[in-house]
């Protein structure tokens, strides 16, 4: 039987993908150098959408670890540790699982994490011209996250009946 907590994982992933896509479109729209409130709105919308995307993604990854019975990373490096953990194959006595995310997706997640850190701690010095790598990662994450998590789920929590589970669109 499938664990019902995947419902919340799917909700968090939907949110993350929506925000990563929105951030990409905001970046393409530009307007960050506009005077007054217009430029402020453009910068804050981009910063907030990327922060929201990564926060939703982290929530999904933490929920997955909880479903698997794994302790969550803790301490000052917990955000970076979470990304490293989900990219690893874990084999311990009594517990084994494949990597939750493939290395290339985990690199994009880590780029998103670094962007969120800069946006949270250095937002007054935000330079949209330097954000291109983060926004390229966001574009890839918007389309890759749900299929990759669906693949992982099929391995660790396959459907109990003969009907194949459909990956969220």
Q: Does 162 score more than 50 pLDDT?
A: no
- pLDDT for the residue 44: 93
pTM: 0.89
Q: Does 31 score more than 80 pLDDT?
A: yes
Residues paired with 96 in a beta bridge:
91
Q: Does 153 score more than 50 pLDDT?
A: yes
Domains of the chain, residue spans? 6-156
Residue 122: pLDDT band by 50, 70, 90 thresholds? confident
Report the distance separating Cα 121 and Cα 130, nearest Å: 16
Q: Please identify, in words, the CATH class of the domain defined by 6-156.
A: mainly alpha
Give the DSSP letter string of 74-139: -STTHHHHHHHHHTS-EEETTEEE--SS-HHHHHHHHHHHHHHHHHHH-GGG--GGG-HHHHHHHH
Q: What is the mean pLDDT of the chain?
A: 91
Contact 60, 16 (CB under 8 A): yes
């Amino acid at each position: 039987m499938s664990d019902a907590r995947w419902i919340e994982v799917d909700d968090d992933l939907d949110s993350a993908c929506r925000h990563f896509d929105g951030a990409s479109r905001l970046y393409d729209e530009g307007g960050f150098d506009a005077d007054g409130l217009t430029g402020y709105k453009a910068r804050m919308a981009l910063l907030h959408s990327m922060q929201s995307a990564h926060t939703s993604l982290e929530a999904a990854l933490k929920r997955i670890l909880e479903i698997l019975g794994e302790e969550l990373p803790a301490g000052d490096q917990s955000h970076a540790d979470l990304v490293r953990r989900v990219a690893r194959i874990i084999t311990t006595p009594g517990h084994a699982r494949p990597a939750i995310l493939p290395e290339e997706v985990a690199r994009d997640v880590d780029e998103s994490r670094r962007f969120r850190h800069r946006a949270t701690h250095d937002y007054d010095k935000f330079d949209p011209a330097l954000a291109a790598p983060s926004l390229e990662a966001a574009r890839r994450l918007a389309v890759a996250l749900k299929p990759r998590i669906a693949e992982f789920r099929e391995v660790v929590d396959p459907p109990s009946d003969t009907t194949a589970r459909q990956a969220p669109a």
